Amino acid sequence: MHQILIVEDDPALSQGIRLALGQEGRQFVQAGTIGQAERELAERTFDLLILDLNLPDGNSLDLLSRLRDRSALPVLILTANDLEMDQVTGLELGADDYVTKPFSLAVLRARVNSLLRRSRPAPAALELPPFLFDFDAMVFARDGVPLELSKTEQRLLRLLVEHRGQTLSREVLLDRVWDGGEFVDENALSVAVNRLRAKLADAPIRTVYGLGYQWAVD
């Protein structure tokens, strides 16, 4: 489950960001000042920091510099359009990406998705008897018998097994499997699930009616 810290002193914008990014597998902590952000960073582990550079109690670039002394946490900075120097300085201090205000929430969502994908550690081969799934080597087998999966089926399977026991909504699966999903017919997901079930005989891929799908666990 991804843990994201949003550091933004505009409560309405902070809440808008949280709602735009909210989906299964994500939890959010919101802070409005550098002091609050530093306390949160000291107390828990995050997968991504979204950092506004215009905060009321200090210089966010100083916070970024201190963070980089001890952590490789991915950082996305939010900047004003007329502060190009802050964008350059932020990147030089170790920020991974930036978005300028005012920004499209769809663009922010795409940038966040990209950072989380890039920062995700590569999993080892996963054994879920009778299945073996090695997503790095693209090797899949049932009882030692190789299985041929398309790239779409591999992405779908990976999401399901990495979130075993969780229901993933159709919207989340469309977005993650087809990298945005705006121009994908919803039937494509049903077809992909059916093909995956046919290839992985007796796999615990459960339909949660009205919600989505899950890899069920006992």
pLDDT at 196: 96
- Residue pair 76/99 in contact by the 8 Å Cβ criterion: yes
Cis amide leading into 11 (omega within 30): no
Residue 115: per-residue pLDDT = 87
pLDDT score at 70:
80
| CATH architecture, domain 2-119 | 3-Layer(aba) Sandwich (3.40)
**CATH 3.40.50.2300 domain residues, the chain:** 2-119
- The string of pLDDT tens digits covering residues 143-178 is 999 999 999 999 999 989 988 888 888 888 888 888
The per-residue pLDDT for 187 is 85
Cβ atoms of residues 134 and 140 within 8 Å: yes
Determine what percent of the chain is predicted with pLDDT higher than 90: 44
Whether residue 61 contacts residue 87, with contact meaning beta carbons closer than 8 Å, is answered with no
The residues of the chain scoring below 50 in pLDDT are: none
* Order of strands, sheet of 2-7, starting from the edge strand that comes earlier in the sequence: 26-31, 2-7, 48-52, 75-80, 97-101
CATH 1.10.10.10 spans which residues of the chain?
126-215
Please give the CATH topology (third level) of the domain spanning 126-215.
Answer: Arc Repressor Mutant, subunit A (1.10.10)
